[in-house]
Amino acid sequence: MERLSLDQQPERPGERPRAAAGAVAPSPPRRILASSEEEVARALAEASAQGLAVLPQGGGSQWGLGEPPRAGDLLLSLAGLRGVVEYAPEELVVRVRAGTPLDELNDFLAPHGQWFPVEPVAAPGATVGGLLATGASGARRLAFGTPRDVTTGVRFVLPDGRVMHNGSRVVKNVAGYDVMRLLIGSLGTLAVLTEAWLRVRPLPARRETLLVGVRDPAEALDLGRRRIASELLPTALELLDPRAAARLGLPARTTLAVALEGDAPEVAYQRERIALLAGGPGGAAPGGFALERLEDGASDAFWRAFHRRLPAGATLVVRASATLADLPALLLAAAESGLEAALVAGPGHGVLRLFAAPAEEEEALARWSGFLRRWREAAEALGGAVVVEKAPDGLRGRFPAWGTPPPAIELMRAVKARFDPRGVLNPGRFVGGI
Amino acid sequence: MAAGVSTPASRPVPGLPPGVVAGLAAIVGADSVLAGSRRLLAYECDGNTVFAGQPEAVVLPHDREEAERVIRFLDEHDVPWLPRGSGTGLSGGAVAERGGVIVDLVRLRRVVRVDPESQRAWVEPGVTNLALTEAVAPCGLFYAPDPSSQVACSIGGNVAENSGGSHCLKYGVTTNHVLGLEVVTARGERLRLGGAAPDLPGYDLTGFFVGSEGTLGVATEAVVRLVRRPQAVRTVLALFPSPDEASQTVSDVIAAGILPAAMEMMDRLAMEGVELGPYRVGYPPESGAVLLVEVDGLEAGLDEQAERIAAVCRRNGVQDVRVARTAEERNLWWQNRKTAFGAMGNLSPSYYVQDGVIPRSRLPRVLRRVEAIGREFGLRIANVFHAGDGNLHPLILFDDRLPGQRERAVRAGSEILRACVEEGGSITGEHGVGIEKREEMRLMYSDEELRFQAELRRVWDPKGLANPGKVLPV
Ligand SMILES: Cc1cc2nc3c(=O)[nH]c(=O)nc-3n(C[C@H](O)[C@H](O)[C@H](O)COP(=O)(O)OP(=O)(O)OC[C@H]3O[C@@H](n4cnc5c(N)ncnc54)[C@H](O)[C@@H]3O)c2cc1C
């Protein structure tokens, strides 16, 4: 371990982005802050040779996702691998190091009139590498997709220290096997990402958010899915239950938040249509709708809070996903569970999250795990899934993070064995105990 | 060097072991197994006629259960095989270069289910791309990836090649629209990967399978995303003195913050070819390039967008720019573009299509290199591109009757790919590696990277029986 300890700058605990309450912040005996790809490679090769369990870390905002690792000897922080390597605004691609915080990337892009619109639902601090490793997304996936849709190339280091790339800076490329897509969403169990080429977008000239108060979730789904999403092109469309609305500083009522981001004429047109569809000013109001309009900076701030404040304030975050036709059943089951949780759901993309802070005592935990088990059963029966993104220790043992392993689990294990035959990376954190 | 990157191709195929044809016939029925050279002629090559090879037999399963049993049987008997859809591939992917069995999937052509509310469809691999879009059209939906071959090519082939099309600039390629698969792996296991719901846990095996060119197994069903038909469309046709001004326009449109659904370009020679075909637009002789730009979305603001595009064209010395006034006019422009490959038959006895990708700002430079390569090899080269995403289709014209011309065309193609990689691009944007570009894979990846890709392939196909010799250098 000598060379490792030579390079390493022991991190002071205060410097590390503190994992929010409920995330199992790992505290391995050793930490390394890698500042180059070569250092990552060397650290991994040595750790591998010694059979150490390595936990790669980006911003530390998503430690709660999945199971706590079975072992952890070395925390490999990528926070030092930071910054843009290459940028061609006219190509709409940027090559960036894995440890770069998403905020930093967007600050870099803004003066060029561009942005990277994929923002995860996660506590502040998320990095590019963490985003890709978790495959995480948020409200704007409706218009811009998920990490797998916006990544054109990656560089990565295998657990034995071999450095490789896959894909490239060009947006169309079908040369060879798509190793990149295996890595995206693999939660750092296959390799350590060191760089990515990402597609960026022109910053929308006009940004508005309409907040529509509705009677209940059923009505919100109907308005969101059947009327708004079937006609217009919002860049985000999220249903907030009264608790979620309240946590974002809105009146505690079921609310539909609609982001309109684009050229002025299309934004204006959509705003008017929604007012009409929602029965606001000039429309037939079925359930006494209230419309609030946030413009530009205020609109941006709303969505920033949506993505960050909800997870940061919770000790339990659970994600459910289903097809759009099946989403209402899952949403209603959660809304009617009687448990104290804030709910958000995307009637246009099929992902739903609940945020809660259950008391760490037997009765509450039993009720929660009972509900979550039934909820997962229902979701899986519909071909969907329920996944733990963060949970208090007391709940972990009662409710596994991933649910029934997918039918191709043996193939997944075989893939893992090719990348990481010694089981060095994040052991036990992923699906099926991988 | 090749020793390191061992792919299963090295396995010799001296013909089928005895009993294989009978065994296949027992699964699918004797009339669904073709053997004997005459009946196999149709399977000699795919859309790329440069590479040919005859299978020992072709088997046509009627459904996925039969497909599964066929593949398990072939695995048990160590027979190399490959899947085939419509045979429109342009890199030799569906060619049995060294014999073996072709598993033809044309009969698996059910659109199994459409869920309009969730915008999903479940389709078998033999369904053609256009048939899928037509099946969902009554719901106001379409399947977005639109290869120019969409009348004929199959969804299975699209999945295997990760096919693109003119509208991928905005909508993305096949992999962005395939959320799940049912596959029979080369080991004969039928498995579900991914699914219709978003964010399913586990490695993205669907994403890895898409683009794997039939080397991991057969896709027996795809779960695809359907897209809502846009409210409105505007199509702009612009004529320029040369591809330089047209290329600059492409970059400037993007720089203006507009993301068109499609930006397609053809150069002078390509224009001459299509104008001799059935879809004549009437390009004036003094135009050196035509640019077709399409924007779609909400009606509101679309005219302004089209006008902004026209203004960019004018700033770049456009000779003529118009917006399609009718659906007929738009269709004519698109037919003209989409039949460009075949139209080369009007100019030359044979042609050979390449598929390089470059960063779009390098277009003018790369075009000059392509021209120089044409001169060097003494061949005419027409250019058709998905200009918006830098995907070039140089069409190398040659005469197959003259000795050495075909080889020269292939060498010129390889030179063009080298130029693309040197400019920071790729050897293939949508047609796949197949047989054609497997050596050029070395321009993209190191031996070690290729070896690692070969290892991942073996996870699915330990015996190396599925489409041997494709994708990776041999
Ligand atoms: C005129 C013309 C225009 C074209 N335009 C475009 C274009 O714009 N964009 C584009 O991307 N391509 C284009 N192509 C190329 C071609 O049409 C596509 O690659 C198409 O996806 C091939 O489909 P296919 O059914 O013909 O496949 P095939 O040629 O039969 O097979 C192609 C590959 O897929 C594998 N395969 C087939 N079915 C399966 C299955 N079910 N499971 C696993 N593997 C399978 C085969 O083994 C082979 O490797 C064009 C071709 C022509 C001739």
- Is B395 in contact with B282 (CB distance < 8 Å)? no
- Is B354 in contact with B381 (CB distance < 8 Å)? no
- Is A322 in contact with B200 (CB distance < 8 Å)? no
Entry pTM = 0.95
Is A140 contained in some domain? yes
Q: Do domains B20-104 and B348-422 have the same CATH topology?
A: no
B65 touches chain A (CB under 8 A): no
Q: How far is the CA of B388 from the centre of ligand 1 (A)?
A: 22
A191 and A220 co-located in one domain? no
Query: Residue A59's pLDDT is what?
Result: 85
Whether the CB of B84 sits within 6 Å of ligand 1: yes
Per-residue pLDDT band for A281 (boundaries 50, 70, 90) equals: very low
Query: Residue A13's pLDDT is what?
Result: 38
The residue from A175, A202, A229 where one domain ends is A202
Contact (CB<8Å) A172/B164 = yes
Considering only CA atoms, which residue is closest to atom 7 of ligand 1? B147
Is A101 contained in some domain? yes
**Fold assignment, B348-422:** Alpha-Beta Plaits (3.30.70)
CA dist B38 and A383 (Å) reads 47
Q: How far is the CA of B323 from the centre of ligand 1 (A)?
A: 32
B233 touches chain A (CB under 8 A): no
Whether the CB of B221 sits within 6 Å of ligand 1: no
**pLDDT tens per residue across span A198-248:** 999 999 999 999 999 998 898 899 899 888 988 999 999 999 999 999 999
Measuring CA to CA, which residue among A17, A3, A24 is closest to residue A388? A24
A244 and A146 co-located in one domain? no
A251 and A197 co-located in one domain? no
The residue from A202, A223, A244 where one domain ends is A202
Give the residue-averaged pLDDT of A108-118: 96
Predicted interface score ipTM higher than 0.90: yes
Give the residue-averaged pLDDT of A12-38: 65
Write a three-state SS string for chain B: CCCCCCCHHHCCCCCCCCCHHHHHHHHHCHHHEEECHHHHHHHCCCCCCCCCCCCCEEECCCCHHHHHHHHHHHHHCCCCEEEECCCCCCCCCCCCCCCCEEEECCCCCCEEEEECCCCEEEECCCCEHHHHHHHHHHHCEECCCCCCCCCCCEHHHHHHHCCCCCCHHHHCCHHHCEEEEEEEECCCCEEEEECCCCCCCCCCHHHHHCCCCCCCEEEEEEEEECEECCCEEEEEEEEECCHHHHHHHHHHHHHCCCCCCEEEEEEHHHHHHHHCCCCCCCCCCCCCEEEEEEEEECCCCHHHHHHHHHHHHHHCCCCEEEECCCHHHHHHHHHHHHCHHHHHHHCCCEEEECCCECCHHHHHHHHHHHHHHHHHHCCEEEEEEEHHHCEEEEEEEECCCCCCHHHHHHHHHHHHHHHHHHCCCECCCCCCCCCCCCCCHHHHCCHHHHHHHHHHHHHHCCCCCECCCCCCCC
Query: Residue B453's pLDDT is what?
Result: 98
Is A388 contained in some domain? yes
Strand B57-59 vs strand B101-104: parallel, antiparallel, or unpaired?
A: parallel
Per-residue pLDDT band for B1 (boundaries 50, 70, 90) equals: very low
In sequence order, the 6+-apart residues with CB closer than 8 A to the CB of A196 are A95, A96, A98, A128, A129, A132, A151, A153, A154, A155
- Token pair for residue A144? 């811009």
Strand A54-57 vs strand A74-77: parallel, antiparallel, or unpaired?
A: parallel
A186 and A333 co-located in one domain? no
Instruction: Residue B119: list chain A partners with CB under 8 A.
Output: 324
Q: How far is the CA of A323 from the centre of ligand 1 (A)?
A: 29
In sequence order, the 6+-apart residues with CB closer than 8 A to the CB of A208 are A259, A260, A261, A267, A271, A293, A294, A295, A296, A299
Give the residue-averaged pLDDT of A414-427: 97
A330 and A390 co-located in one domain? yes
Instruction: Residue B437: list chain A partners with CB under 8 A.
Output: 175
**pLDDT tens per residue across span B247-302:** 999 999 998 989 999 999 999 999 999 999 999 999 999 999 999 999 999 999 99
- Token pair for residue B57? 């037999």
- Domain of A330 in residue numbering reads as 207-396
Provide the chain B residues 161-200 that lie in CB contact (below 8 A) with chain A: 161-162, 164, 168, 172-173, 175-176, 185, 191-193, 195-200
CA distance B40 to chain A (A): 29
Per-residue pLDDT band for A60 (boundaries 50, 70, 90) equals: confident
Q: Does the pLDDT value for residue B332 go beyond 50?
A: yes
Which listed CATH number (3.30.70.2190, 3.40.980.10, 3.40.50.2300, 1.10.10.10) goes with B232-342? 3.30.70.2190
Query: Residue A235's pLDDT is what?
Result: 97
Q: What is chain A's mean pLDDT, rounded?
A: 91
Statement: B20-104 belongs to CATH 3.30.43.10: yes
CA distance B426 to chain A (A): 6
Give the residue-averaged pLDDT of A399-419: 98
Contact (CB<8Å) A203/B257 = yes
B297 touches chain A (CB under 8 A): yes
∠ CA A190-A191-A192 to the nearest 5 degrees? Answer: 140
Instruction: Residue A138: list chain B partners with CB under 8 A.
Output: none
A211 and A164 co-located in one domain? no
Whether the CB of B126 sits within 6 Å of ligand 1: no
Give the residue-averaged pLDDT of A176-204: 97
Contact (CB<8Å) B115/A325 = yes
The residue from A182, A202, A222 where one domain ends is A202
Tally of structural domains, chain A: 2
Per-residue pLDDT band for A69 (boundaries 50, 70, 90) equals: very high
Q: What is the CATH number of the domain that holds A138?
A: 3.30.465.10
CA dist A73 and A33 (Å) reads 14
Instruction: Residue B297: list chain A partners with CB under 8 A.
Output: 233, 266
**pLDDT tens per residue across span B296-326:** 999 999 999 999 999 999 999 999 999 999 9
CA dist B449 and B460 (Å) reads 18
A196 and A306 co-located in one domain? no
CA dist A372 and A353 (Å) reads 12
**At which residue do the structure tokens 């505290």 appear?**
A27
Query: Residue A280's pLDDT is what?
Result: 52
CA dist B163 and B157 (Å) reads 8
- Token pair for residue A311? 């997870």
Using most ligand atoms within 8 A of CB, pick from B71, B161, B215 the residue to mutate for ligand 1. B161
Considering only residues B465 and A288, tell me which one the structure prediction assigns the higher pLDDT. B465
List the CATH code of the domain at B111-228: 3.30.465.10
A192 and A277 co-located in one domain? no
Is A211 contained in some domain? yes
A286 and A377 co-located in one domain? yes
- Token pair for residue A185? 């969403």
Chain A residue with minimal CA distance to B461? A411
Is A229 contained in some domain? yes
Considering only CA atoms, which residue is closest to atom 40 of ligand 1? B156
Contact (CB<8Å) B211/A385 = no
Query: Residue A277's pLDDT is what?
Result: 86
Is A409 contained in some domain? no
Name the strand (E) or helix (H) holding A209: strand A206-213
CA distance B449 to chain A (A): 6
Measuring CA to CA, which residue among B254, B219, B269, B267 is closest to residue B67? B219
Contact (CB<8Å) B359/A91 = yes
CA distance B323 to chain A (A): 20
A269 and A303 co-located in one domain? yes
A-B CB pairs within 8 A amount to 237
Q: Return the domain boundaries, chain B.
A: 20-104, 111-228, 232-342, 348-422
Is A289 contained in some domain? yes
The percentage of chain B sitting over the pLDDT mark of 90, rounded to a whole number, equals 93
CA distances from A408 to A434, B110, B195, B406 (A): 13, 24, 12, 44
The HSE-up count of residue A119 (CA atoms within 13 Å, CB side) is: 21
A359 and A216 co-located in one domain? yes
Query: Would you put residue A288 in left (φ > 0), alpha (ψ -120 to 50) or beta?
Result: left
Is A12 contained in some domain? no
Considering only residues A124 and B408, tell me which one the structure prediction assigns the higher pLDDT. B408
A243 and A114 co-located in one domain? no
Query: Residue A97's pLDDT is what?
Result: 98
- Token pair for residue B392? 């070039």
